[in-house]
Amino acid sequence: MRISTIEVYQRDLPVAGGPYRMASTSVDALDTTIVRIIADNGLIGWGETCPVGPVYQPHHAGGARAALAEVAPGLIGLDPLGIEPAREAMDERLNGHGYAKAALDMALWDLAGRHYGARVCDLLGGARRERVPSYYATGVSEPAETARIAADKAAEGFTRLQIKLGGRPVEADIETLHAIADAVPRGVRLVADANRGWTARDAQLISNACAGFPLTLEQPCSTIEETVSIRSQLRHPVFLDESAEDLPAVLRAITANACEGFGLKLTRVGGIGALRAIRDVCAARSLPHTCDDAWGGDIVAAACVHVAATVSPALLDGVWIAAPWIDGHYDAERGIAIRDGFIDVPTGAGLGIEIDPAIFGEPIAVYG
Annotated catalytic residue, options 265, 279, 289, 334: 265
Choose between 218 and 317: whose C-beta lies nearer to Mg ion. 218
**How near is the Cβ of 193 to Mg ion at its closest, in Å?**
4
By CB under 5 A, is residue 53 in contact with Mg ion?
A: no
By CB under 5 A, is residue 110 in contact with Mg ion?
A: no
Choose between 143 and 263: whose C-beta lies nearer to Mg ion. 263
Annotated catalytic residue, options 59, 97, 119, 164: 164
- Nearest residue to 161 via CA among 187, 143, 135: 135
Residue 166 is classified by DSSP as -
By CB under 5 A, is residue 263 in contact with Mg ion?
A: yes
Binding track over 182-221 against Mg ion, x by CB under 5 A: -----------x------------------------x---
**How near is the Cβ of 160 to Mg ion at its closest, in Å?**
12
CB–CB of 317/290 below 8 Å? yes
* 265 tagged catalytic: yes
Of the CA atoms within 13 Å of residue 323, those in its CB half-sphere come to 27
Residue 324 is classified by DSSP as G
**Sign, CA torsion 269/18/210/212:** negative
First to last CA, the chain: 15
CA distance 65 to 68: 5
By CB under 5 A, is residue 241 in contact with Mg ion?
A: yes
Where b means 16+ CB within 10 Å and e means fewer, 13-27 reads: bebeeeebbbbeeeb
Single out the segment in contact with Mg ion by CB under 5 A; choices: 66-74, 119-127, 263-271, 274-282.
Answer: 263-271
**How near is the Cβ of 364 to Mg ion at its closest, in Å?**
30
* 101 tagged catalytic: no
CA distance 358 to 348: 21
Binding site for Mg ion (CB under 5 A): 193, 218, 241, 263
**What residues act catalytically?**
164, 265
